[in-house]
Structure formats: C-alpha cells, structure tokens
Amino acid sequence: MRRKRFLLVAAVAVLGVAAVFGHSSGTWMVLAPESDPQSWSTLARIGDGLTVVSDRVGQLAIVYAHYPFETQASDLIWEIVAFTVALLGLGFRFYTVGITAGGRSTADNRLDTTGPYSLVRHPLASANLVIALGLSLFPHGWVLPLVVMTIAATYYQRRIRRDDGTLRAQFGADFEHWAARVRALLPRPSGYVPPERSFEWRRLTRREYSLGAVILLVPIVIDVAEDLVETKTLVIDPVWSIVAVFGVALLAGVEVTDLRSTNPSGIVDRFRARYTDVQEGKTLAAEILTDIEHLLEAVSAGRLLEHIQDHIDVLYDVARAGQRATAAHVLEIPARFGDCGVHRSHVGRIGLLGHLAAPVETLHMRVKVLEEMQALQGSQKRRGEEVGDTLDPNSLIVVYGQILEFTRQTVTQAQALVPQLRAFADGRSWDSLG
C-alpha cells in the first residue's frame, strides 16, 4: 500500500512538472524534448536528475492543450470561466456548511434529507470536486484536470463508501430510501426540499472564510507562474490582482477587525495570546534577573567560594596533624539562597522565557540544591555542638570539594544568564514575537 501511494505521488509530481513546462504558444503540442527546446533547457537547469526523469516522461507524448484561441482575450475568458466553476463549488460549499451546522442528523436524531442533502448525499465532497475542477482548468489544459479529478474521485469514492456505511448502520431503512433517490456526488436537477434548519452565517465565517481567501488568491499565483515559464518575465494581470486583493481583504479583514465574537481560526487570538505571553515573559525575565543578581551579590558579599576553599584548607591542616574534625570545622555557608526566591517564585511560568526556559530551570534546581546543602551543613554543625561528635577530616574535604565545584558551576551559569535575561527583558516585543 505504501509503495502504491509513493508511486501515485511520484506520478502526479512528474505529470505536474510536465504539464507546466509543456505550456507553449502552439494550439496543441506533444511534450517531447525536440518539441520545445527552450522549456526543456529551463527544466534542465533545475538539476541533472530531474532532467533525466523529465526526458523520459517527454517520450511518453503527454499532450497538453493551450487555450482555445490565440488571443489574450480568449485566455482571460477561459480563466474567468474556470474560476467561475470554482466559485460555484465554493458557493455550494458555503451554503452546505451554513445550513448543516448540526451535522447529518436533525434535532430529533432523524437523518437529515433536506436542503443540500435533498440534492446530493455528500454535498461537501461534491462542492470540493467542483472547486478542484475549476482551479485545475485554470491553466488552459486537460492534463492537470484529468490527474486532479482522477485522484479526487479515487479518494472520495473510498470516503463515500465509508461514510455511507456509517449512515446505513445508524439510520437503516431511512438511509436506503434516501440513497435510492439521491445520488452520492452528482446533484439531481429537481426534488429540492427546503432545509429544516436556518442558514448560520456565523458558522460560515468561522470555518470557510480562509478557504474562500485561498481560492481568491490561487488565480494570480497560477497566472504569474505561467507567464514566468512562458516569457521569463513577471506579468501581473490586473483582473486577478483585484481578485487577490479581495482574497487578502477577506483573510485579513475578518481577523484584524475581529468581526466575530469568537475566533476559532485562531489567527488573531493566537497573536494576542502570543503578544501577551511576550509581555509577561519580559516582565518575568526582569524579575528573575533581579533574583539572580541578588544571588550573585550574596555569593560575592559572603565570599562564598573563598570561604569554602579556606574551610577545605583548614581541614587539610587538621588531617595532616592526625586530628579529628569537630563541630567548629563543619562548613557554614554564609549566603542566604532562600532570600533570592529564584527556585520558588516563577516555576509555573518558566515557559514564557522561550529558549531561556531550560537554563533558568536548571539554575532554579541548582539553587534549590545549594539551599538544601546549606540546611544540611547547619544541621550537622548543631548536632556536633550538642553531642560533641568528631568527624573524619578527609571525608569532609571530599564533600566540601564537591560543594565548592557545584557552587562554582552554579555561579558561572548565573553569570552567563544575566546578559541573556537582560536582553530578553529589554528586547522589543515585535522581535520577540518573531
């Protein structure tokens, strides 16, 4: 199955390349290397491998129809007719979505056979096929429509078989009676039954405006691509430019002006949420930066690294003298890590820092470990003072050496984060959004 799918995709891709580069000024042409040297030389520059494949395809004599007449007006008429076909499909899809907001069943759980379902069993699939047919006809040929409609028909045949099976199992005799008089994809010319549900325009704008905008933008993309292939120049058709402006306005206008109370497409909502997150992240970065600066000040003011090293040197002297360590030799960490609050205040919001979240989280954990070390050494010192226990100085040297190295790494990481957090906090919002 995977191999078949791969071969199908590969065939479509090759046919698409052949169709595009087979477009010429003649009324009919056979796409072979000797028939259009200029197109094939252009294709050759894409790469030697593609040239070899295209050369083999060219020998298959793929016929591509140019527009019926040899004038710019006929070209435009063809494109308008093809685009109108796509718009008819889009309109039928809009009507179906606006009417069938509740799905395939009515409010009392009966099979809905009114509205678009009174004309065709699968109106959305039918609308999508008409849209695909119109857009594939736009480049003036029959190869692309043939390929597109073959793929679409194969896909929807399987989809319809599965959906009909589900409806048959759910509605039984009602479905059989409906299927006997209403075709799956080809709408019947008569027998329309007014819908039981009213048209919901709000649902249409939520789900379909983006599709409509894309369809309005497709013609200028295809037209510009064709002109680039044929003339090697950029030609902007004024008709399709105006259509594209409407497409952009449809997409941007609905989002930017927020014409709906809800915005399921999410473009504006996601942008607003992202902007809010950036602002909160900048505030959070400033707060954590202050915490880290307090941490570094505490380390520096208490000469923490020097203090630990001095303590280790004293223990070396005790060990060389063959003595035992007492409570006075237990390390007492002077820095007050708990006052910084780095590891407690912002744990649930660390994700707002983006790429800095991971190193900040690591620093939080390190500060937590340092605080636990501080508490453990304080407890050990008090116990030694109360009980009078003595300790092996060599064991303490090993432990304090590890504490020194861990503290040094923590300080280094904190120092490295300072300029990064400052840049994040001071950065422009629009830069952060990118």
Is 50 part of any domain? no
Residues 351 and 314 in one domain: yes
Q: How far apart are CA 272 and CA 250, in angstroms?
A: 20
Query: How confident is the model over 230-272, as pLDDT tens digits?
Result: 777 787 888 899 999 998 888 777 666 554 445 545 555 666 7
Residues 297 and 312 in one domain: yes
Number of structural domains, the chain? 2
Most confident of 87-91, 191-195, 361-365: 87-91
Is 322 part of any domain? yes
Residues 329 and 405 in one domain: yes
Residues 231 and 300 in one domain: no
Residues 286 and 369 in one domain: yes
Is 377 part of any domain? yes
pLDDT of residue 207: 65
Is 182 part of any domain? no
Residues 283 and 228 in one domain: no
Is 385 part of any domain? yes
Of the chain, the percentage scoring pLDDT greater than 90 comes to 14
Where does a domain end: 226, 246, 265? Answer: 265
Residues 6+ apart with CB under 8 A from 153: 129
Where does a domain end: 265, 290, 313? Answer: 265
Q: Minimal CA–CA distance to 141: which of 38, 67, 54? A: 67
Residues 283 and 222 in one domain: no
Is 125 part of any domain? no
Query: How confident is the model over 105-131, as pLDDT tens digits?
Result: 666 678 888 889 999 999 999 999 999
Where does a domain end: 234, 265, 296? Answer: 265
Is 327 part of any domain? yes
Residues 427 and 289 in one domain: yes
Residues 283 and 399 in one domain: yes
Is 102 part of any domain? no
pLDDT at 143 over 70: yes
pLDDT of residue 70: 62
Least confident of 9-13, 70-74, 411-415: 9-13
pLDDT: is 301 or 219 the higher one?
Answer: 219
Alpha helices per DSSP H over 237-356: 238-256, 267-301, 304-320, 342-345
pLDDT of residue 421: 85
> Could you give the count of Cα atoms lying within 13 Å of 255 in the half-sphere of its Cβ?
20
Mark 139-159 as b/e (b = at least 16 C-beta within 10 Å).
bbbebbbebbeeebeeebeee
Residue 319 tokens, joined: 């060990």
pLDDT at 64 over 70: no
Residues 275 and 349 in one domain: yes
| In contact, 366 and 372? CB cutoff 8 Å | no
| In contact, 35 and 78? CB cutoff 8 Å | no
Residues 238 and 376 in one domain: no
Residues 257 and 358 in one domain: no
Domain of residue 421, residue span: 269-433
pLDDT of residue 86: 94
